[in-house]
């Protein structure tokens, strides 16, 4: 089952579990504004109605009979650089907005009025469709404002990008893999049952679907995933959590690390990887902690290899910022 789309290497900044909230909408008469960032895939329930009419899985305003248009404001849980959007109108056919645009700003307010910058100009939309739209802007934002023209429904707005945390003056251990710090899964061998982006989200996995899980491997080889660290640093402690994985956890695991100038080189230059944790047995449904790691100095990326396949709920990579390269 493919989960690939044009922004697959970036994280979803709109995730509620990162603290993202929909703080305002001009109108959400037919469908609540909060649903536009719901993490689930939009569903359609044929015979479901409520006091306002047909129940729809998304944000939907009433038919506008006056001048103007509708919009909603989304406050990101963690500030981030935005690399792309998906304006998803799945299941909205006769009630989708014909056009949309998106602005962003930096603010301490839940509902800022000033400082908005256009990231996406007014763009034509189709019904029941994904609209993947790239952004070329390296600034960091705290809020997104989705405009729809003039009204209608959007199932989901996905905001793809990266977190840029400030590590100046940071002392003690940092989880270099954590999404809230800027860690990202950038590539993997397979993610048939569970996304690689589940590996570094906050908290423990809530169930078996809230982790990275590959298909059953029927041929030679093993599965793997590459993590771009939030910043370069020396890794001193690792946690591999197989929570909820019992009949499908990996038998063994290795960790390699390296210092690369780019994500692309980390993916392509296999010769530069060095062993951080040698092949080690795992147990089902358990947090595994490893401190007997090879001294590699400062690294930028880590590759987790599982043997031969299976599921891992979380990967934590603790260490100190900076350090001398080997």
Q: Are residues 228 and 294 in the same domain?
A: yes
- State the pLDDT confidence band at 326, using cuts at 50, 70 and 90: very low
pLDDT digits (tens, 9 = 90+) for 105-135: 999 999 999 999 999 999 999 999 999 999 9
Q: Are residues 126 and 235 in the same domain?
A: no
Q: Are residues 28 and 114 in the same domain?
A: yes
Q: Are residues 120 and 254 in the same domain?
A: no
The boundaries of the domain holding residue 298 are 174-321
Q: Are residues 156 and 18 in the same domain?
A: yes
The answer as to whether 244 is a domain residue is yes
Give CA angle at 38 (199, 6), nearest 5°: 60
Single out the residue in 109, 131, 163 at which a domain terminates: 163
Q: Are residues 304 and 191 in the same domain?
A: yes
Residue 57: its pLDDT value, please?
97
Q: Are residues 147 and 242 in the same domain?
A: no
Residue 4: its pLDDT value, please?
73
Predicted structure pTM score: 0.91
Q: Are residues 18 and 154 in the same domain?
A: yes
- State the pLDDT confidence band at 323, using cuts at 50, 70 and 90: low
What H or E segment, with its residue span, contains residue 263? helix 263-268
| CATH number where 66 lies | 2.60.120.260
Quote the mean pLDDT of the chain. Answer: 95
pLDDT above 60: residue 2: no
Q: Are residues 225 and 258 in the same domain?
A: yes
Residue 3: its pLDDT value, please?
57
Euclidean distance between CA atoms 210 and 242, whole angstroms: 11
Single out the residue in 104, 139, 163 at which a domain terminates: 163
pLDDT digits (tens, 9 = 90+) for 91-109: 999 999 999 999 999 999 9
pLDDT digits (tens, 9 = 90+) for 188-236: 999 999 999 999 999 999 999 999 999 999 999 999 999 999 999 999 9
Number of domains in the chain: 2
- State the pLDDT confidence band at 165, using cuts at 50, 70 and 90: confident
pLDDT above 60: residue 38: yes
Peptide bond into 54 cis (omega under 30): no
Which single residue is written with the structure tokens 């987790």? 304
Single out the residue in 163, 195, 210 at which a domain terminates: 163
Q: Are residues 143 and 22 in the same domain?
A: yes
């Amino acid at each position: 089952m493919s989960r690939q789309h044009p922004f697959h290497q970036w994280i979803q900044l709109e995730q509620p579990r990162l603290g993202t909230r929909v703080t305002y909408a001009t109108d959400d008469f037919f469908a609540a504004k909060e649903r536009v960032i719901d993490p689930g895939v939009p569903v359609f329930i044929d015979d479901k109605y409520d006091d306002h009419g047909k129940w729809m899985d998304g944000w939907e305003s009433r038919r506008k009979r006056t001048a103007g248009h509708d919009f909603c404001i989304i406050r990101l849980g963690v500030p981030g650089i935005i690399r792309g959007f998906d304006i998803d109108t799945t299941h909205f056919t006769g009630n989708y907005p014909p056009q949309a645009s998106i602005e962003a700003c930096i603010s301490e307010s839940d509902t800022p009025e000033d400082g908005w910058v256009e990231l996406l100009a007014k763009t034509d939309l189709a019904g029941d469709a994904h609209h993947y739209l790239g952004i070329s802007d390296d600034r960091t934002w705290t809020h997104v404002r989705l405009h729809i023209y003039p009204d209608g429904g959007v199932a989901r707005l996905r905001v793809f990008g990266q977190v840029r945390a400030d590590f100046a003056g940071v002392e003690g251990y940092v989880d270099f893999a954590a999404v809230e710090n800027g860690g990202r899964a950038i590539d993997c061998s397979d993610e048939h049952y569970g996304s690689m982006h589940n590996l570094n989200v906050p908290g423990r996995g809530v169930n078996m679907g809230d982790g990275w899980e590959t298909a059953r491997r029927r041929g030679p080889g093993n599965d793997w995933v590459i993590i771009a660290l939030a910043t370069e640093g020396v890794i001193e402690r690792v946690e591999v959590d197989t929570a909820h994985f019992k009949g499908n956890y990996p038998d063994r695991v290795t960790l390699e690390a390296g210092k690369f100038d780019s994500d692309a080189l980390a993916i392509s230059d296999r010769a530069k990887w060095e062993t951080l944790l040698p092949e080690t047995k795992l147990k089902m449904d358990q947090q595994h902690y490893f401190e007997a790691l090879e001294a590699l100095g400062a690294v930028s990326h880590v590759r987790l290899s599982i043997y031969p396949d299976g599921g891992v709920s979380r990967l934590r990579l603790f260490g100190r910022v900076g350090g001398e390269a080997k």
